[in-house]
Amino acid sequence: MRWKGRRVSSNVEDRRGGGGAKAGGISIIGLIVAFIAWKFFGVDPQMAYQATKQVTSGSQSQTGNQIQNPTPQQQEAYEFVGTVLADTEDTWTQIFKQAGATYTPPKLVMFTGRDTSACGSAESAMGPFYCPADQKVYIDTEFFKDMRTQMGISGEQNQSELSAQDQAGDFAQAYVIAHEVGHHVQNLLGISSQVHKARQQLSQAEGNQLSVRQELQADCFAGIWAKDNHQRTQFLEKGDVEEAMDAAHKIGDDYLQKKARGHVVPDSFTHGTSAQRMTWFNKGLNTGDINQCDTFKNPI
């Protein structure tokens, strides 16, 4: 996949790294400020503590835990994610414009281990996800390592970030980002809220089926991005689409359940089978038409 040298999105929030020492939910600097307020200005220490805690926690939620001196691998991961996000911005801005609408891009949060979102805790084990409440995509780049390991790509198992060179699997990773941005598109179109409302009136199994249709549509949207971006940038290389198909296959509900349990429970599927995920990504890739991605009215 050719991705270097293009625009890097300004909508990436890099929260990887330490971010400073904390004690009891407040930074060390915050404790010092509270102490000075009490010692020299006679302010009640408890009041000073609470006020400083609110200020510092608010600041942290805005700035995140940014890496001050990133390694080459960390910087490359940032540029890769930012470039893919920029590509999705170019794609969806044009599609929305053609429909007479304005596309508002999401923010993408890169974090390590654990973070917070408006939808609750963001943890590495959860994998990448989109939070409609704050319109942000959350990705722990450790997921890329796990993804490469699961896909059986050699030479990457001991790296927690992208390698310093282009490597096999980069388009599969881009597909995951584009899929999460697809959920943002659904949110902007009002699809997500409709699904959420409908699920509240359905059984668990019926609600899961709606979730599957929503996920497959996001796969189709990712395919649209791939087609449009290749027409503009010629970024696809030989084997890239096969990588995405392999990724779609290995994150299918049936594949994951069989690998974990030895059997599958279709009623519990929430993302779709491997075959379904590959089919709908391909539909978006081959047609480039958002109208062909109606997984709610068409058989899946």
Domain ranges of the chain: 20-63, 68-293
pLDDT score of 160 more than 50: no
Lowest mean pLDDT among 29-33, 96-100, 253-257, 290-294: 29-33
Q: Which residues of 83-120 are buried (b: 16+ CB within 10 A; e: fewer)?
A: bbbbbbbbbbeebbeeeeeebebbbbbbbbeebbbeee
Mean pLDDT calculated for residue range 140-169: 57
What per-residue confidence (pLDDT) applies to 29?
47
Mean pLDDT calculated for residue range 150-165: 44
Q: Are 178 and 84 in contact (CB under 8 A)?
A: yes
Q: What is the percent of the chain with per-residue pLDDT over 70, rounded to a whole number?
A: 77
pLDDT band for 150, please (50, 70, 90 cuts): low
What are the residues whose beta carbons fall under 8 Å from the beta carbon of 258, sequence distance 6 or more? 264
The mean pLDDT of the chain is: 81
Nearest to 85 by CA among 104, 106, 101, 63: 106
What per-residue confidence (pLDDT) applies to 37?
47
pLDDT in tens, 190-218: 999 999 999 999 999 999 999 999 999 99
Mean pLDDT calculated for residue range 31-51: 48
User: Which pTM does this prediction carry?
Assistant: 0.78
pLDDT in tens, 236-286: 998 888 888 888 888 788 788 888 888 888 888 889 898 999 999 999 999
What per-residue confidence (pLDDT) applies to 159?
43
